[in-house]
Amino acid sequence: MARSTQYIGLNTYAKNLVKNAYKTEVLPELTIGMCEEPIPGKVFYVAPLSGEDVNVYHKYTEVVQCEPWSSGPMIFTHLRWEIMKQSGQLVDMGLVCSWIVDPMLDRHLYGEYDEDSARFYV
């Protein structure tokens, strides 16, 4: 088996959260792979949901959650959520849509991770 960097990225919950982003920026170097290659990430800007203050926007920045090793690093990411006020002030809301370590994951059925349930066991 060849060794390589395995970018897994965001789970399904995170992808659904940012799918309606009105703007996306690329982070050229989220992290570094096993061969010193840059692994890019993204920043997503999401408009307020219905019923929310129209002067507040959501900023989601992809950040590395963990990098367990399986024939190379597996890069799992989640989102740092910030609320952007019209004044430009950012309010840190914490990390969201994280992966869950689950030793009970059926590896015969899912392999080392299941994107839809946000579970992994490497």
What pLDDT does 85 receive?
86
Q: Give the residue-averaged pLDDT of 64-79.
A: 95
Q: Is 16 left (phi over 0), alpha (psi -120 to 50) or beta?
A: alpha
Backbone phi and psi for residue 23, each to the nearest 5 degrees, phi listed first: -150, 140
Q: What angle do CA 45, 17, 74 make, to 5 degrees?
A: 100
How confident is the prediction for the chain on average, in pLDDT? Answer: 93
pLDDT digits (tens, 9 = 90+) for 13-67: 999 999 999 999 999 999 999 999 999 999 999 998 888 878 889 999 999 999 9
Counting residues of the chain whose pLDDT is more than 70, the rounded percentage is 99
What pLDDT does 1 receive?
57
What pLDDT does 79 receive?
98
- Please answer whether residues 102 and 118 qualify as being in contact, where contact means their C-beta atoms are separated by less than 8 angstroms: no
Residue boundaries of the structural domains of the chain: 6-120
The Cα 46–Cα 43 span in angstroms is 10
Q: Give the residue-averaged pLDDT of 88-115.
A: 94
Give this prediction's pTM. 0.91
What are the residues facing 96 on neighbouring strands?
A: 79
